[in-house]
């Protein structure tokens, strides 16, 4: 009972901000800076999809609440797109428009995860997913899964790794492809084997596909067609179309469970921003895919050049590189490397934010303009002696 001055033990046990002291130092850096620790884009959204394009004359009442499920026009556009990309019937009741994919996964975990329930998370992992599971009272169970960038991911190894982690408290498996932080893309046969495994063990399946537009080699495979009765497919206008600040994404899942997600979303952020939903709708009318196609080419180029400079394979997808830098660390460990980088204006993420990876770092190669990002990569390469 956390009466004043105490707080909830669940929240107290969670780690706090990881970048604050370094970000503070970087803010004081006199020269050019390279904030490659954040997953974001330097590109402005497509014309027609910016806030300045959305007028009260065209959209009277656009500053009022929307429906908690989402604006009807946007819901219908999402249903049409999802049926086209996933090939699965997607009625309006299968969709919840969310405060970004973070809000979507928050609603999914809030609905599915009770106190002490376990969610298996393929590691390394997007840091927020562990915190989301924690916040909802659950226990994230990281399973080392993604091999080195040049080793294939096989169905057999995938099933073996995940099945070994299933306990009688496991309720769900979280899969993210294209992958943050490794830049890997999980092959379709691996997803099929994992979907079959969730069916065998009566688990829910959380498919985080926010980088679905950003594949540079191979092809993105959707998870929901493999087990539509148990899969929550998470998507993001943020990542797709350069609108992270708009806080708009969506979840597609089994219609009979979506009312449970809406209970959670209604009570943690109520409705998704109305203007952001109009911007998302406009993006889905064509400008978004044109923007994403252009972004994909630019991202592929800068990602490959960044990887080459660091001596690692080019990313298959997403907007990240995840490097084992053990050979370049002194007895200060990764903290020392990060500190040296900050002295030269570069911020990257420490591996331990992404699971049990104390000698790795992550960088995002799209958070600033390509040439500037590459100058940041060069800072890192020099710190690593590469």
Q: Is the separation of the CB atoms in 98 and 250 below 8 Å?
A: yes
If binding is defined by CB under 8 A, does position 275 make contact with its own copies?
yes
Q: Report how far residue 129's alpha carbon sits from residue 138's, in angstroms, rounded to the nearest whole number.
A: 11
If binding is defined by CB under 8 A, does position 353 make contact with its own copies?
no
If binding is defined by CB under 8 A, does position 28 make contact with its own copies?
no
- Residues numbered 357 to 376 that lie near its own copies (CB under 8 A) are none
Total residues interacting with its own copies, rule: CB under 8 A: 89
If binding is defined by CB under 8 A, does position 350 make contact with its own copies?
no
* Torsion over CA: 44, 47, 48, 53 (sign): positive
Distances (CA, A) of 319 to 216, 306, 369: 10, 11, 13
- Residues numbered 72 to 101 that lie near its own copies (CB under 8 A) are 99-100
- Minimum CB distance to its own copies smaller for 8 or for 21: 8
If binding is defined by CB under 8 A, does position 262 make contact with its own copies?
yes
Task: From 162-170, 218-226, 328-336, 358-366, give the range in contact with its own copies by CB under 8 A.
Answer: 162-170
If binding is defined by CB under 8 A, does position 165 make contact with its own copies?
no
- Minimum CB distance to its own copies smaller for 143 or for 310: 143
Task: From 38-46, 284-292, 322-330, 348-356, give the range in contact with its own copies by CB under 8 A.
Answer: 38-46
- Residues numbered 185 to 244 that lie near its own copies (CB under 8 A) are 198, 201-204, 229-230, 242-244
If binding is defined by CB under 8 A, does position 110 make contact with its own copies?
yes
- Minimum CB distance to its own copies smaller for 14 or for 73: 14
If binding is defined by CB under 8 A, does position 62 make contact with its own copies?
yes
Residue in the structure block whose two tokens are 């840091």:
127
Among 78, 95, 134, 280, indicate the residue that binds its own copies (CB under 8 A): 134
Task: From 47-55, 80-88, 176-184, 206-214, give the range in contact with its own copies by CB under 8 A.
Answer: 47-55
Task: From 82-90, 103-111, 186-194, 346-354, give the range in contact with its own copies by CB under 8 A.
Answer: 103-111
Q: Smallest distance, Å, CB 294 to its own copies?
A: 16
If binding is defined by CB under 8 A, does position 327 make contact with its own copies?
no
């Amino acid at each position: 009972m956390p009466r004043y001055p105490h707080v909830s033990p669940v929240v107290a046990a969670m780690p706090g901000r990881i970048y604050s002291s370094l970000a503070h130092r970087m803010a004081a850096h006199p020269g050019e800076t390279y904030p490659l620790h954040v997953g974001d884009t330097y590109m402005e959204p497509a014309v027609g999809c910016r806030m300045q394009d959305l007028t009260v004359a065209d959209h009277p009442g656009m500053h009022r609440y929307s429906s908690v499920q989402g604006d009807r026009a946007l819901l219908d556009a999402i249903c049409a797109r999802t049926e086209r990309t996933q090939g699965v019937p997607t009625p309006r009741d299968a969709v919840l428009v969310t405060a970004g994919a973070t809000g979507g996964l928050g609603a999914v975990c809030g609905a599915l995860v009770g106190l002490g329930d376990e969610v298996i998370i393929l590691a390394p992992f997007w840091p927020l997913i562990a915190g989301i599971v924690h916040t909802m009272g659950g226990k994230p169970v990281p399973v080392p899964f993604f091999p080195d960038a040049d080793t294939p991911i096989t169905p057999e190894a995938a099933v073996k790794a995940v099945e070994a982690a299933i306990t009688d408290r496991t309720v769900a498996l979280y899969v993210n492809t294209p992958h943050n932080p490794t830049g890997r893309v999980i092959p379709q046969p691996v997803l099929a084997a994992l979907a079959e495994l969730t069916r065998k063990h009566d688990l829910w399946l959380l498919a985080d596909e926010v980088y679905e537009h950003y594949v540079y080699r191979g092809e993105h495979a959707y998870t929901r067609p493999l087990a539509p009765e148990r899969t929550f497919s998470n998507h993001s206008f943020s990542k797709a179309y350069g609108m992270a600040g708009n806080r708009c994404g969506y979840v597609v899942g089994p219609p009979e469970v979506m009312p449970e997600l809406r209970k959670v979303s209604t009570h943690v952020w109520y409705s998704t921003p109305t203007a952001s939903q109009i911007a998302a709708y406009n993006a889905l009318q064509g400008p978004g895919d044109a923007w994403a196609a252009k972004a994909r080419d630019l991202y592929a180029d800068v990602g490959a050049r960044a990887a080459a400079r660091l001596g690692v394979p080019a990313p298959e997808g997403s907007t990240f590189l995840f490097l084992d830098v053990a050979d370049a660390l002194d007895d200060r460990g990764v903290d020392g490397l990060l500190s040296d980088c900050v002295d030269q204006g570069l911020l990257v993420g420490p591996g331990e934010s992404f699971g049990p990876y104390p000698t790795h770092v992550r960088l995002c190669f799209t958070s600033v303009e390509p040439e500037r990002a590459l100058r940041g990569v060069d800072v890192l390469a020099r710190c690593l002696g590469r």
